[in-house]
Amino acid sequence: MKMLKVGIVGGAGQVGSALLRSLNTEREIQAFGICRNRVSAARVASLGMPVRIVQTDDPVQLAQETRDLDVIVNCALPQYQPSMTSVANHRLALSLTSACAGKRLVHLSSVAVYGDFLSSRKDFFDHPKPDITYGRQKLQMEQLLRKLAKKHSAKCTILRLGHVYGPQLRWSEGFFDLIKTDGFRLPFDGELASNAIWIDNLIAGIKQVIIAPPAQDTVNLVDSPQTTWREIFDLHSKACGRPAVEPLDQFESNRRFLIAKTKGQTGLAKRLFLESAAWLIHLPSSYVASAPAFKTLSQRIVAGIGSKGLDSRLWALYCRHFSARADGAPGPTTLAVLLSEPVPGHCLTYNGSRPTECLSALEAWHNAISTPHVSHRTIFHSREIAQEIP
């Protein structure tokens, strides 16, 4: 059997580096990290992994440096100010599809394309309506890749990843913060499907796609079998030595579910009107603090204008009121993802493992970040957990 040569664009990232290490343990696969600069390339090389330094948004250079590869996996997404991200997405999409002419491209997208609250409505799979900036960026990249892949005769598979958790990953750090937050309760006692994916299952799914592409060009990638929020939170509670999170009562769970679902299915313009009306009634300290839709709408406008200065000023205004509660209620609220429905559409079928297998690794990582010698960046403060997470 011919050995598959795979390039990992964004090989220095959390997902990219984990994927690179795992792929290079397979006899039939040889994987290379593809990094934009010497700093990120040095991180990959320090792991003993092969790496190539390539200007990934340069179609000619990327094509030349990857001409011997069979598959390219894109783990990267430009993360700039809104005024710059759209242009960067176009450059990267053009470069990837040009380099993959006659080859295969696997692009890692996100379930964030469905919005902050994930609805299981079937039409949302083909026509997602993201209400957060990160989701809009991911959706734009999907649309660009489909269009340009067809133009350059590249075979593109898009994987919409669930919320990736495991050691050294942002979601797991966030779960630890939530567990330690006074008053936090798990809606519906965590019985809802999580739409999350353990990093090892993510790698297993990508391996399968590399070796045997699915019939669909776009699929969701979540834990298989799908985990509940109770399983995930109990896993993280054990890892940090805390008791299991208590359930939120049924009435309050239903109330918050209906609020989240209604908000998720309400258009941005209507949400802006409703949130503005609430602001006029309650007279909060800041329009930005009480109307998250205003932030999203302003980012769209700024992205079209292309003004870095205006972009920076609006971001600073929002940050000054970042921790303000929009509903004025005491205690922590509930993240929309904890109330979401199962992802709509096709899910990749693969041989997954139960996340309990990563308990010891999570324990070791939690102990490491809990020591005073290691800087730990809090993801969810008790007054901030209502904020969106990409």
Give residue-wise pLDDT tens across range 86-122: 888 999 999 999 999 999 999 999 999 999 899 898 8
pLDDT in the model for residue 381: 46
Q: Which domains does the chain have, with CATH numbers?
A: 4-167+189-226+342-352 (3.40.50.720), 267-332 (no CATH)
Q: What is the arithmetic mean of pLDDT over 28-43?
A: 92
Structure tokens at 328: 């004025």
pLDDT in the model for residue 80: 63
> Does residue 240 have a pLDDT over 70?
yes
More confident residue, 10 or 283: 10
pLDDT in the model for residue 326: 44
> Does residue 251 have a pLDDT over 70?
yes
Q: What is the arithmetic mean of pLDDT over 194-209?
A: 95
> Does residue 383 have a pLDDT over 80?
no
pLDDT in the model for residue 316: 54
Query: Among 47-56, 64-73, 177-186, 262-271, whose mean pLDDT is lowest?
Result: 262-271
Question: Given pLDDT bands bounded at 50, 70 and 90, which one contains residue 72?
Answer: very high
Q: What is the pTM of this model?
A: 0.80
Per-residue HEC secondary structure of the chain comes to CCCEEEEEECCCCHHHHHHHHHHCCCCCEEEEEEECCHHHHHHHHHCCCCEEECCCCCHHHHHHHCCCCCEEEECCCCCCCHHHHHHHHHHHHHHHHHHCCCCEEEEEEEHHHHCCCCCCCCHHHHCCCCCCHHHHHHHHHHHHHHHHHHHCCCEEEEEEECEEECCCCHHHHHHHHHHCCCCCCEHHHHCCECCEEEHHHHHHHHHHHHHCCCCCCEEEECCCCCCEHHHHHHHHHHHCCCCCCCECCHHHHHHHHHHHHHHHCCCHHHHHHHHHHHHHHHCCCCHHHHCHHHHHHHHHHHHHHCCHHHHHHHHHHHHHCCCCCCCCCCCCCCCHHHHCCCCCCCECCCCCCCHHHHHHHHHHHHHHHHCCCCCCCCCCCCCCCCCCCC
pLDDT in the model for residue 134: 87
> Does residue 262 have a pLDDT over 50?
yes
Q: What is the arithmetic mean of pLDDT over 335-345?
A: 93
pLDDT in the model for residue 382: 40
Q: What is the arithmetic mean of pLDDT over 149-169?
A: 95
pLDDT in the model for residue 1: 58
User: 330 CB contacts (<8 Å, ≥6 apart)?
Assistant: none
Q: What is the arithmetic mean of pLDDT over 247-255?
A: 92
Q: What is the arithmetic mean of pLDDT over 331-356?
A: 87
Q: What is the arithmetic mean of pLDDT over 239-246?
A: 95
> Does residue 279 have a pLDDT over 60?
no
pLDDT in the model for residue 82: 65
Q: What is the arithmetic mean of pLDDT over 41-57?
A: 92
**Among candidate residues 135, 352, 330, the one with its CA nearest the CA of residue 223:** 352
Give CA separation, 377 vs 49, 93, 121, 170, 172, in Å.
28, 32, 36, 10, 12
| pLDDT averaged over every residue in the chain | 83
More confident residue, 118 or 378: 118
More confident residue, 17 or 309: 17
More confident residue, 163 or 375: 163
**∠338-339-345 over CA atoms, to 5°?**
100
pLDDT more than 90, % of the chain:
58
pLDDT in the model for residue 39: 92
CB 112 within 8 A of CB 140: no
Cα separation of 237 and 243, whole Å? Answer: 6
More confident residue, 365 or 323: 365
Question: Given pLDDT bands bounded at 50, 70 and 90, which one contains residue 311?
Answer: low
More confident residue, 294 or 40: 40
